[in-house]
């Protein structure tokens, strides 16, 4: 009978191990099912984020193209800003009009245009000051001279031969 007890105990031991293996397999299946659900949720989130990024990049590209086109149109249509007394004279370039100059510079140009149309040619800073109704003190005359120099150096219209200003 010793043999029968040994076989029974081996058989019982195998049944215990088989039962433990079944419990372990069932636990692993449950864990795999849980992980498959987690994996599916993570894949869905990844897909949503990829789509969001692609749409953002596409939207930014379209927006950049539109804003570039709008900016180019605005630059073409945008009038020159109104000058403010005391502002600087912009560098001369083709297409600029007298309206970009400050009122003081515009008045000096007006006097020069009147002198040119009257056939007077080159005007001295003192003569321009008188035409503008300014006193002929050195400070006022020098102010007119500096406006003429800045204004016309930018347009290369200073008559250096006799230190007069002309158009």
pLDDT, tens digit, 9 for 90 and up, residues 99-147: 777 777 778 778 878 877 787 777 788 888 888 888 888 888 888 777 7
pLDDT at 156 (0 to 100): 40
List the structure tokens of 32: 């795999």
Residue-wise pLDDT for 114-125, tens only, equals 877 787 777 788
Read off the pLDDT of residues 15-47 as tens digits, 9 standing for 90 and up: 999 999 999 999 999 999 999 999 999 999 999
Strands 158-159 and 164-165, how do they pair?
A: antiparallel
pTM over 0.75: no
């Amino acid at each position: 009978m010793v043999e029968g007890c040994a076989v029974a105990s081996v058989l019982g031991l195998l049944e215990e191990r088989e039962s433990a293996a079944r419990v372990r397999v069932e636990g692993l299946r449950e864990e795999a099912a849980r992980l498959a659900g987690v994996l599916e949720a993570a894949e869905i989130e990844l897909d949503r984020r990829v789509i969001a990024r692609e749409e953002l990049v596409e939207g930014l590209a379209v927006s950049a193209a539109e804003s570039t086109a709008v900016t180019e149109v605005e630059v073409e249509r945008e009038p020159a800003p109104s000058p403010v007394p005391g502002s600087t004279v912009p560098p001369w370039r083709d297409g600029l009009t007298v309206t970009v100059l400050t009122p003081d510079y515009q008045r000096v140009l007006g006097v020069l245009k009147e002198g040119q149309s009257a056939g007077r040619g080159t005007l001295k800073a003192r003569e321009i000051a008188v035409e503008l109704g300014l006193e002929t003190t050195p400070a006022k005359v020098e102010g007119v001279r500096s406006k003429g120099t800045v204004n016309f150096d930018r347009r290369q219209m200073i008559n250096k031969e006799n230190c007069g200003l002309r158009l």
